[in-house]
Structure 1
Amino acid sequence: MKNLVPLITRASQASAIITFVKTASGSMAPRGRNIRVRRVTVLLSVFCAALLASPTAWSQAAQRTRIAFHVPEQNSKYTEQHTLDIGDMPGHTIRLFEIHRTFPDDPPAFAGVPVKDYWTRGESDTLSGNGPVWTYAVFNMANGDKIFGRSEGVAQATGGQWTGKRTVVGNLVLTEGTGKMRGIRGTLRVLTNVDLSKSLNDTKYEGEYWMEKY
């Protein structure tokens, strides 16, 4: 920020050097080039002043917090699953699902508040187990606040089409929160191993989040 002060000073000094030309009426007027210089100087000064008045814009990157956690299959439960065959080609299905994840030991925390549990509700559109997956997320915090998010990923069948095993890779984007979590933003990479035949789900998360000020 200190480097901006000399820049503003030099720009102000440059705008003070104004030459004049005589108009048809005999009066003196500043040259058009100097008018443009003064306009640019004013805009530069306003821009720099706004940055000086908003240290948050400069320190936001430093406020990002890393987070990583794992939800093993014993703490993930499918509470709803509905699969429909499309009928246009073999193995093409759409699927709606709901997953409840709990943290009995060592729960992750956002802004110092532990996560109590976590709901995922989503859908997939796959052909032979391969295709896009979309979900919405709700984190219930220990203090009663909530964090909301949405994710997009890609499922890939592993071990053959009919085994029900999938690997899903995607990103979970934190979009908003309530209470102390209001203003939260973030992106977490998500890796999920699924076994639909046994209703098992094992997921790892890694990424960062930050708090935006209103």
Structure 2
Amino acid sequence: MITILIVDDHAMVRSGMRLLLGGKDDIEVVGEASDGDEGIRAAESLRPNVVLMDLSMPHGKDGLTAAAELKERMPETAVLILTMHDDDEYLFRAIHAGAAGYVLKSAPHEELLTAIRSVAKGDAYLYPTATKRLMNEYVERMKRGESTDVFDTLSEREKEVLALAAQGYANKEIAEQLVISVKTVETHKSNVMEKLGLKTRPELIKYAMKKGLLQFD
């Protein structure tokens, strides 16, 4: 069962989403929130698989800020942005904030359901024209000589976990150093390995050495 938290400042949107998702056998809406601050509190309490997050919320934290904070606190939870903004700037900022997906409110219901199921199993989801834009942006960055290194997509916390893991610290020791849970460490490490295409610890150590992350006292 995929558990969902809906974060949107419009009660009618939340009701509509609950009605749509409530009829699916594999999806359960476990809560709602009207702004980013409330959404973060609800997510930490309910521990949903997916947070369906609006971008523009006038009160409290906006969707981008809340998404970034959620990914820092709960990396195992996927944040799916649901917005009316079909805009490159918002799209790239959402990805940078750690969102697992980006869907327009104008999209067909089936597309939203596909996106939810995709991010719930650990995949990323972008609506078709957004994927094309990202590909074009990647090509343009290469032409301009800008970085396309996957390492740049890691969050600062993921880089810290990568460095400590490469130095030989156990998950419990990393958790104590960074003041986070062991489960969070495990999730960060899994995300790092997946993003970087690494399969073994020796590969991780070799990569960390290449990036100059190994610092021994």
Range class of TM-score, shorter chain: under 0.3
Tell me the TM-score normalised to structure 1 length. Answer: 0.17
Q: Which has the higher contact order (CA 8 A, sep 6+)?
A: 1
Greater fraction helix: 2
Tell me the TM-score normalised to structure 2 length. Answer: 0.17
Q: Which has the larger radius of gyration?
A: 1
